[in-house]
Amino acid sequence: MVECGNPEASPVNDSQDKAAIALGPRIVASGGFTLLYREGMSLIEDVAAYLDGDGRAESRGLPREASFVYATESMRLTTRLMQLASWLLLQRAVNEGEITTENARLEKEKVKFSATPDQRGGPGYDDLPERLRAYIAQGDRLFDRVQQFDKLERGGIAEAAPAANEGSIGDQLARLRAAFGRLQS
């Protein structure tokens, strides 16, 4: 006889544990990743073109303090985007069967994402060109999304990010939490 207060004694829990399916890797391998990949690579190309063209011209007209902030923020953004490109390319290789998940995991461990500053701003930040500030914000959002996918790929539960629009991953996770209660990571 199974005790009601002892979930470990329940044969149902044993069979449920054995039948559990890791949904994270399936989500990562789905069309959601394809969209993330396209958006990420497009952002990388756009930022590179901006920094080599209009951004360079815009930076010449900045006050001294803003010019220093421009150099710092553009280097941070470039570094962050190259780290994200590495992650995206590794994940695409896994999805296309070019490398194993384990090989990709080992390679991803070599890519150390730089921390996102808790707050942007400070002296000179508001003087930065609007396009650069927009690209920085887009890079931060892309970074957050990649971290969510990475956590899912490793079998974890991603934290729901504020939904940018209905149907986003954050929105879908929030709906799952509402339907099934708080998911544990």
pLDDT of residue 26: 58
Annotated domain spans of the chain: 23-156
Residue 104's contacts (CB-CB under 8 Å, 6 or more residues apart) are 90, 91, 93, 94
What pLDDT is stored for residue 110 in this prediction? 80
Q: Is the pLDDT of residue 158 over 60?
A: no
Percent of residues, the chain, with pLDDT higher than 90: 43
Mean pLDDT of 108-131: 80
Query: What is the identity of the amino acid at 32?
Result: G
161-184 pLDDT tens trace = 444 455 566 656 655 655 555 444
Angle, vertex CA 169, rays to CA 34 and CA 130, nearest 5: 80
Say how far apart CA 40 and CA 109 lie, in whole Å.
20
Q: Is the pLDDT of residue 121 over 90?
A: no
Question: What local confidence, expressed as pLDDT, does residue 101 receive?
Answer: 85
- Scanning the structure block, which residue is given the tokens 């996918």? 149
Least confident interval from 6-15, 76-85, 104-113:
6-15
Domain boundaries 23-156, corresponding CATH code = 1.10.8.930
- What would the pLDDT profile of 51-90 be if each residue is shown by its tens digit? 999 999 999 999 999 999 999 999 999 999 999 999 999 9
**Quick one: which of 24, 159, 33 has its CA closest to 96?**
33
The C-alpha atoms of residue 157 and residue 164 are separated, in whole angstroms, by: 19
Residue 154: per-residue pLDDT: 72
| Banded model confidence at residue 153, pLDDT cuts 50, 70, 90 | confident
More confident residue, 99 or 183: 99
